[in-house]
């Protein structure tokens, strides 16, 4: 799963993982885009207002379960933030 965010301050972020043991206080990790391989490609996108990186981390979830709360579930919750 990868969700790309571009902030108002010009920093770009990729949410690249929601998995067991990925993070410290949350199983969702955030990585700066400039730390990613240039082989990643963006496929679509849209603008969201009043969003915060912390909100996307929270939506990703603190816990991970391969069958019940995996990276696709985390991505779906993050996408739902855009609709609120």
Which tens digit of pLDDT belongs to each residue from 6-61?
777 777 777 667 778 877 778 888 877 787 788 877 777 777 777 788 888 888 88
Residue 62's contacts (CB-CB under 8 Å, 6 or more residues apart) are 25, 26, 27, 28
Select the more confidently predicted residue: 67 or 33: 67
Structural domains counted in the chain: 1
Of 28, 39, 38, the residue nearest 69 (C-alpha): 28
CB 59 within 8 A of CB 81: yes
Structural domain boundaries enclosing 67: 3-83
- Band the pLDDT of 84: cuts 50, 70, 90: low
Indicate the pTM of the whole model.
0.72
């Amino acid at each position: 799963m990868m969700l790309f965010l571009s902030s108002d301050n010009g920093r770009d972020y990729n949410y690249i993982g929601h998995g067991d043991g990925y993070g410290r206080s949350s199983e969702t990790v955030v990585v700066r885009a400039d730390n990613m391989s240039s082989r990643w490609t963006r496929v679509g996108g849209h603008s969201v207002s009043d969003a915060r990186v912390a909100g996307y981390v929270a939506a990703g979830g603190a816990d991970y379960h391969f069958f019940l709360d995996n990276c696709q579930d985390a991505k779906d919750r993050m996408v739902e933030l855009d609709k609120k």
